[in-house]
């Protein structure tokens, strides 16, 4: 006669003491193996007949199912235990590995390297670095800069608009939106640079991407002239790109500067446009609440990726923002 209840009690208490999967295999063979009590009771079934045989058969099957259930839950418990030892919690604030040939240590992105140097040069020259919003109002980005809704100059800065804003807000197309924003909140004289990301609906190529960085410059004071603008830009750009870099100014047009110029640098035998600049248009100064009888100013805005292209001899500016570690590791 087999005592199911005591067998189940026995295996349950043994299963709680298991330490690893090897113990589990031994326990399984003790209760379900060829030499187990259950196996010999099953073999004895053959000698019984009729209803007695059917009754005992049912009892043995139910015992087998109970044993299997105990073994399955023991297996789950052991697997959980194994995972816990495998994935030990660790302190993410503890110091990293020391420098060695195997450890990969990150470094600044080439655009960040260029910006770091830009900040150094401009702060030495007494400029303040001003933060600015990436989502700008249509008014600061365009209207305040003499580009009303129908102005053809908007075409060159075709862009995305913020949904449900009735075309009032946009990811800024240039950092120039900061000019009037800053003038309204500060009294001249001031010298600032405004670095930041800008966005355009652009046909991409080796020198154009849909999102890039600009550095805006704005200087307002008494007697600020075009000669100051030229001198400052020549000095700053040469410091960033090296004295030997050939640079030229070319007449241009921006609705918010008068006169306007474009600044190019020679790269691989060709002229590459770095940025636009000019004397701040009196209408723009007025919109910023500045007395044009007393003050004048110049502004410029250049592309940071273009500086990186020349400085690091990169053949396609789009590579800078592709997640390719082999490319970025070169800098
Ligand atoms: C402007 O964005 C004017 N706001 C610059 C300015 C500021 C003029 C202040 C006058 C006074 P432009 O669209 O040309 O101008 O862009 C300036 C520079 O940004 C370009 O010369 C170039 O260096 C860079 N740039 C323009 N478009 C792209 C692009 N798609 N990808 C990468 N760099 C670009």
174-207 per-position pLDDT tens digit:
999 999 999 999 999 999 999 999 999 999 999 9
pLDDT the model gives residue 164: 83
Ligand 1 proximity of 142 Cβ (cutoff 6 Å): no
Domain boundary among 51, 86, 121: 86
Rounded to two decimals, the pTM is 0.72
Instruction: Give the pLDDT confidence of 131-148 residue by residue, as tens digits.
Output: 999 999 999 999 999 999
Q: Is 305 in the pocket of ligand 1 (CB under 6 A)?
A: yes
Q: Are 130 and 228 members of one domain? A: yes
- Same domain as 51, residue 17: yes
Residues 224 and 261 in one domain: yes
Q: What is the average pLDDT score of the chain? A: 92
**Domain co-membership, 133 together with 19:** no
User: 140 and 32 share a domain?
Assistant: no
Is residue 102, in this structure, part of any structural domain at all? no
Dihedral pair phi/psi, residue 271, rounded to 5°: -80, 130
Residue found by looking up tokens 């805005």 in the block: 301
Number of domains in the chain: 2
Instruction: Please give the average pLDDT of every successive group of 10 residues along the chain, which has 331 residues.
Output: 86 93 94 92 89 91 94 93 78 73 78 97 96 96 95 87 86 97 98 97 94 98 97 92 94 97 95 97 98 98 96 94 88 88
C-beta 295 within 6 A of ligand 1? no
Using the mean position of ligand 1's atoms as its centre, give its distance from the Cα of residue 276 in Å.
6
Residue nearest to atom 27 of ligand 1 (CA): 208
Check if the beta carbon of residue 213 is closer than 8 Å to that of residue 196.
yes
* 164 phi-psi bin (left φ>0, alpha ψ -120 to 50, beta other): left
Residue 92 lies in a domain: no
Task: Kindly state whether residue 260 falls inside one of the protein's structural domains.
Answer: yes
Domain containing 323 equals 110-328
Q: Are 46 and 188 part of one and the same domain?
A: no
Cβ of 209 below 6 Å from ligand 1:
yes
Pick from 255, 257, 276, 302 the residue to mutate for probing ligand 1's pocket: most ligand atoms within 8 Å of its CB: 276
What local confidence, expressed as pLDDT, does residue 211 receive?
96
């Amino acid at each position: 006669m087999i005592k199911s209840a005591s067998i189940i009690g026995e295996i349950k208490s043994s299963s709680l003491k298991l330490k690893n999967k090897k113990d589990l295999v031994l326990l399984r063979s003790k209760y379900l193996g060829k030499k187990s009590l259950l196996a010999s009771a099953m073999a004895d079934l053959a000698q019984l007949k009729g209803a007695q045989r059917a009754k005992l058969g049912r009892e043995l099957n139910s015992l087998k199912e109970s044993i299997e259930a105990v073994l399955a839950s023991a297996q789950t418990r052991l697997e959980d235990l194994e995972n816990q030892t495998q994935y030990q919690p660790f302190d993410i604030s503890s110091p990293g590995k020391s420098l060695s040939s195997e450890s990969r240590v990150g470094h600044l992105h080439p655009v960040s390297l260029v910006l770091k140097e830009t900040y150094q040069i401009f702060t030495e020259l007494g400029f303040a670095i001003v933060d600015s919003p990436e989502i700008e109002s249509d008014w600061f980005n365009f209207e305040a800069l003499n580009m009303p809704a129908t102005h053809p100059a908007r075409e060159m800065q075709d862009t995305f608009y913020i949904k449900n804003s009735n075309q009032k807000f946009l990811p800024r197309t240039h950092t120039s939106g900061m000019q009037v924003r800053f003038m309204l909140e500060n009294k001249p004289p001031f010298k600032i640079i405004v670095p930041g990301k800008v966005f355009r609906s652009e046909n991409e190529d080796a020198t154009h991407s849909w999102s890039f960085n600009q550095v805006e410059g704005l200087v307002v004071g008494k007697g600020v002239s075009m000669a100051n603008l030229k001198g400052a830009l020549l000095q700053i750009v040469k410091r960033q790109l090296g004295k030997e870099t050939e640079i030229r100014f070319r007449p241009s047009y921006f609705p918010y500067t008068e006169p306007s110029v474009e600044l190019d640098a020679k790269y691989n035998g060709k002229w590459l446009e770095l940025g636009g600049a000019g004397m701040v248009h009196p209408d723009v100064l007025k919109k910023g609440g500045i007395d044009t009888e007393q003050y004048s100013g110049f502004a410029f805005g250049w592309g940071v990726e273009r500086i990186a292209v020349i400085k690091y001899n990169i053949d396609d500016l789009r590579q800078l923002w592709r997640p390719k570690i082999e490319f970025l590791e070169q800098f």
